[in-house]
Amino acid sequence: MLEIAGLAKRYGDREVLRGVDLTVRAGQVLGLLGANGAGKTTMVSICAGLRSADGGSVHVAGIDVARHTGRAQARMGIAPQALGVYPTLSVAENIALFARLAGMKPAEVRARVTEVARLMGLDDRLGVKAEVLSGGQKRRLHTGMAIVHRPDVLFLDEPTVGADVQSRSGILDVVRDLAASGSAIVYTTHYMTELEQLDADIAVLHDGRIVESGSIDELVQRHATASVRLRFEGDAPAEPPSGWEAEGELLVSTLAAANPGPAIAQVLAELGEDANRLKGIDLERASLESAYRAITGDTSRKEELDVVAA
Amino acid sequence: MLSRRSLVIARSGLKLVLTDPAPMVTTIAMPLLLGAFLIPNARATLRLRGFANATGAEYVIPGMAVLFAFFGITMIGTLFFREHAWGTWDRLRASSATTADLLVGKLTPLYLCYLVQMAVLFGLGYLLFGFRVTGSIMGLALLVLVLVLVLVAFGAMLVAVFSTMDQALTVGSLLGMVMSGLGGALAPSNTLPEWSQAIAHFMPPYWALEGLRKVSLEHGTLSDVTTNLLVLGVFAVIFAGVATFRFNASDAKVGNT
Ligand SMILES: Nc1ncnc2c1ncn2[C@@H]1O[C@H](COP(=O)(O)OP(=O)(O)OP(=O)(O)O)[C@@H](O)[C@H]1O
Ligand SMILES: [Mg+2]
């Protein structure tokens, strides 16, 4: 449904995208991960026909976005990262505008406005001006405006920023329903648990390319490691059990165990006297987050620092 | 030209403009208020110059209408620049509306507001201040229609050229003031210094006001104002040309919320 090939984008002499290849099928939710400044918003904006690319192509339902922008845009919806609602128009008017732009008839517009407001939990706020909504409600309205025309391809760029627990799970429900009804969805977020809840497929944008993609299970299997750290009062035991390494006050598991529980039980049994000096246990299970860290490696942190410095 | 999508955008644009009525109030109330003070003097002057039945409104109403229409150009702030501050411009661009739909849709409310302004001012000028048309009503109507076209094209040019709302609105009202003043909105241009009479011919308000005076005071026929209509038309085409040439929907603009 969405095909991105060799997509390149430069801002001045800063190469942000350096050949992005990505395909999203109908009914698929693709979680797009990447550090701040990795180029997610840039990529999504190019796909939606809002910015031009310096190379490569984007096709939506077989339509070339750069060549037939309007026709492609009719099949797409985007809720940009930056909030975009008309503060002086009511919730209903905000949604209706985009229903009308999509060519719906008045009766259809009315029905769809009610439906989208219900999906977004705004049904009791239809007549209220958008400016008086709370931050999370505005974000939901903002997302609702992108789905009103039932797009085949939907881009949600950090849709849950500022949303409370209920709104967040509401938005996730809507995403699941849309995917179930056949939309291809690109979902950008920094909250990995959301992607786990959506059981999304993952693509990691790093250094201007998609460096890894697959299901969460695949990524976790390929990259994630569980790590266990035992912290001691004073130095960690000098002669650690096998599979463990002493680093100052820490005893660190060198086993990439999928299930670290038994390893911990074993090491605790072997500690003997040293167990009295045990201060704490840190356990990080193999998760999407640890896989993501492994994939982006140290360079991602270095780049984040560069971004901060710049 | 008026595609379905541009009509949808025009409709919402009109709603947005009307939620901030200040510019419309300025363009209608100010000319009437200021005009009331200027009319007696204008009447005396016109009678001295041989227009025995003149009320003064024939001179003051069109002048004030044109001058304050330029102040009404602040509506482009709501129609274009604020969309950027609200984050909605990109949403419109991401819809299947084309750049032409956006431009036409956004400029139509401006055109309608100006038409309403002119209709109300000339109507109330007639009822309250004795504005009369001794010549061609058709001439008056066409002059107003083309003048409004010039104003809208001027607004579009400001949008296309400037990247911040403050710049566009400041320059817009300053230029409007200069063009209206030199064009004879405040005092007949033939009472102004010679140098300014020479450049008055390059000011769209001059041609509008001269034409309006012909039809209201001097029994002007449609053919008497053909030149005025043509010159105004040329200005509209020039402004619209610059606007089209410079306008880029993907330009980042800075608006105030
Ligand atoms: N219009 C622009 N002009 C110049 N540089 C830009 C522009 N937009 C983005 N950039 C730069 O391009 C890089 C990628 O930005 P982008 O917004 O795409 O990142 P992102 O992955 O969406 O980040 P985040 O997670 O913070 O939203 C950044 O370094 C940013 O500074
Ligand atoms: Mg972003």
Q: For the segment B200-231, what is each residue's pLDDT rounded down to a tens digit? A: 889 999 999 999 999 998 899 999 999 999 99
CATH of the domain at A161: 3.40.50.300
Q: How many domains does chain A have?
A: 2
The total of other beta-carbon atoms located within 10 Å of residue B247's CB is 17
For ligand 1, atom 8: residue with the closest CA: A42
* Residue A301 pLDDT > 80: no
Which of B87, B89, B97 is closest, CB to CB, to A101?
B97
pLDDT, position A306: 46
Q: Angle between the A106-119 and A165-180 helix axes, to the nearest 10 degrees?
A: 130
Gap from B238 CA to chain A (nearest CA, Å): 29
Both A160 and A304 in one domain: the answer is no
**Pair B164, B245: CB distance under 8 Å:** no
Both A113 and A230 in one domain: the answer is no
Supply the mean pLDDT for chain A.
87
pLDDT, position B166: 92
Cβ A101–B96 below 8 Å, yes or no? yes
Look at residues A200, A216, A232 and tell me which one is the last residue of a structural domain: A216
**Pair A154, A78: CB distance under 8 Å:** yes
For ligand 1, atom 26: residue with the closest CA: A36
**Pair A9, A42: CB distance under 8 Å:** yes
A-chain residue closest to B98, CA distance: A70
Both A138 and A27 in one domain: the answer is yes
Look at residues A189, A216, A243 and tell me which one is the last residue of a structural domain: A216
**Mutation pick for ligand 1 pocket among A10, A15, A16, A211 (CB with most ligand atoms within 8 Å):** A16
Look at residues A187, A216, A245 and tell me which one is the last residue of a structural domain: A216
* Residue A309 pLDDT > 60: no
* Residue B233 pLDDT > 90: yes
User: Residues of A with CB below 8 A from B15's CB?
Assistant: 89, 93
Gap from A177 CA to chain B (nearest CA, Å): 22
Both A194 and A298 in one domain: the answer is no
pLDDT, position A274: 80
**Nearest to residue B143, comparing CAs of B200, B66, B238?**
B66
Both A98 and A118 in one domain: the answer is yes
**Nearest to residue A213, comparing CAs of A222, A221, A202?**
A202
Whole domain around residue A14: which residue ranges?
2-216
Region A282-290: mean pLDDT is: 79
The secondary structure of chain A, three-state, reads CEEEEEEEEEECCEEEEEEEEEEECCCCEEEEECCCCCCHHHHHHHHCCCCCCCEEEEEECCEECCCCHHHHHCCEEEECCCCCCCCCCEHHHHHHHHHHHCCCCHHHHHHHHHHHHHHCCCHHHCCCEHHHCCHHHHHHHHHHHHHCCCCCEEEEECCCCCCCHHHHHHHHHHHHHHHHCCCEEEEECCCHHHHHHHCCEEEEEECCEEEEEEEHHHHHHHHCCCEEEEEECCCCCCCCCCCEEEECCEEEECCCCCCCHHHHHHHHHHHHHHHHHEEEEEEECCCHHHHHHHHHHHHHHHHHHHHHHC
Window from A246-260, B96-110, B142-156 with minimum mean pLDDT: A246-260
Both A92 and A200 in one domain: the answer is yes
Cβ A52–B250 below 8 Å, yes or no? yes
What is the number of the ligand closest to the CA of A207?
A: 1
Whose tokens are 């509306």? That residue is B97
Domain boundaries, chain B: 4-246
The total of other beta-carbon atoms located within 10 Å of residue B119's CB is 12
- Rounded to the nearest angstrom, the distance between the alpha carbon of A80 and the centre of ligand 2 is 9
Both A16 and A135 in one domain: the answer is yes
* pLDDT tens per residue, range A128-150: 999 999 888 999 999 999 999 99
Both A301 and A187 in one domain: the answer is no
- Rounded to the nearest angstrom, the distance between the alpha carbon of A37 and the centre of ligand 1 is 5
pLDDT, position B23: 86
Region B232-243: mean pLDDT is: 96
Both A234 and A122 in one domain: the answer is no
Cβ B87–A80 below 8 Å, yes or no? yes
pLDDT, position A113: 96
Both A36 and A178 in one domain: the answer is yes
Both A74 and A128 in one domain: the answer is yes
Which of B8, B86, B87 is closest, CB to CB, to A100?
B8
* Residue B12 pLDDT > 50: yes
pLDDT, position A256: 57
pTM of the predicted model over 0.90: no
B248 CB within 8 Å of a chain A CB: no
- Rounded to the nearest angstrom, the distance between the alpha carbon of B78 and the centre of ligand 1 is 27
Both A178 and A274 in one domain: the answer is no
* pLDDT tens per residue, range B80-99: 999 999 999 999 999 989 99
